[in-house]
Amino acid sequence: MNFLEERIQKDGVVKEGNVLKVDSFLNHQMDIALFEQMGEEFLRRFQNEKIDKILTIEASGIGIACIVARYFRVPVVFAKKAKSVNLDGEMYVAEVESFTHKNKNQVIVSKKFLSAGEHVLIIDDFLANGCALQGLISIVKEAGAIVDGIGIAIEKGFQPGGRIIRNLGYRLESLAIIEAMDAATGQITFREQPVCVHRD
């Protein structure tokens, strides 16, 4: 097991409705030493790409994206969730259905912060059905920028998002891929992955 899988096994809590709670280390209380290991690992996996900018979505992607950005030495832009937007032409807009809240949000990025030709690494905490990622990808496309890669902390491999995004041809790297999880027993099974290298 890699460092993130070990932590999920130790502190993750499986809830009904295919939800994994990781709020003690990832998206409420945040373990920055763990985020640094994630940053180092994403840099290793995407070292051959020339990334100009990291793009994520509020709220829980922001913490991880900021630490990852220190390794790539690039700025972070996060897509803001807005109930309704006055479309004044200054924003890129996409519609995203929330997995956890079951509602639809428009997500927006100011045109000032994403430009044609920029090479973007998308970072997020979870991948479930892929709606959040598809919204971010459409914003990058609208800007005329390029998605060079997508880095996810936890992919739920039993939900369709990972397959959909990989079938679209994107390079998607998830640090932990959950093959199955059971709310009754708390058991979590991971997909076999190549070993992460961590330098102490």
- 35 to 64: interface string for ligand 5GP, x by CB under 6 A: -------------------------x----
Which uninterrupted H or E stretch holds 73?
none
**Size (the chain), residues:** 200
**Is 169 within 8 Å of 31 (Cβ atoms)?**
no
- 81 to 110: interface string for ligand 5GP, x by CB under 6 A: ------------------xx----------
Span from 63-71, 84-92, 124-132, 186-194 in contact with ligand 5GP (CB under 6 A): 124-132
The closest of 112, 127, 116, 115 to 175, measured between CA atoms, is 127
Contact flag: residue 13 with ligand 5GP (CB under 6 A):
no
Contact flag: residue 8 with ligand 5GP (CB under 6 A):
no
User: What would the DSSP string read from start to end of 107-161?
Assistant: EEEEGGG--TT-EEEEEEEEESSSHHHHHHHHHHHHHT-EEEEEEEEEEETTSTH
Contact flag: residue 129 with ligand 5GP (CB under 6 A):
yes
Torsion over CA: 111, 112, 116, 119 (sign): negative
Span from 35-43, 64-72, 128-136, 188-196 in contact with ligand 5GP (CB under 6 A): 128-136
SS3 47: coil
Q: Which of 25, 71, 78, 126 binds ligand 5GP (CB under 6 A)?
A: 126
Residues that bind ligand 5GP (CB under 6 A): 19-22, 27, 60, 99-100, 124-132, 161
